[in-house]
Amino acid sequence: MFAALLFICAFTHAAPAQTNPIEHNITDIKAFSGRDIRVGVYTSIQSDCTSGPLPTIRLASVPAHGIVTGKRATLKATNVKQRLAIDAPAFVAFYRAAQNCSGADDLELEVTFAAGRKSEVRAASSQASRE
């Protein structure tokens, strides 16, 4: 599979939210018509290694030649801070190119974490035929 994976794992702190600059994450993905491609995994793990509240994800820019879906998942991670293993709830965003579509497509997600931090995720997709 030819897919670039954007992985965001947020570590939140108990400090009050301040005016944080918006993070910009850009990724290129290679999509095949009718197949889901993972755009990102979004979770929140606090400084004491417990899971925090999940971020809010908004589709800021709708793709012209495909759809974006989100699913709940469980992130299984190892060697996070002082923990050897952790299971945390997560959101996973997927992009699916329309059937028989070729060319480029763009989408943009706005991710807002509980501590007030915002992240804009832009994905540029190029559709390829199955070989």
pTM of the model: 0.75
Cα–Cα distance, 19 to 5 (Å, whole number): 28
**Interval 50-55 mean pLDDT:** 91
Name the most confidently modeled range: 6-10, 55-59, 97-101, 124-128: 55-59
Cα–Cα distance, 51 to 81 (Å, whole number): 13
Model pLDDT for residues 86-106, shown as the tens digit of each residue: 899 999 999 998 888 778 888
Fold for domain 6-12+22-128?
Answer: Immunoglobulin-like (2.60.40)
Q: Where are the domains of the chain?
A: 6-12+22-128
Cα–Cα distance, 118 to 73 (Å, whole number): 21
Closest CA to 38 of 2, 14, 11: 2
The angle at the Cα of 116, spanning 55 to 76, to the nearest 5 degrees, equals: 35
One-letter identity of residue 111: V
Residue 123: both structure tokens together: 């994905």
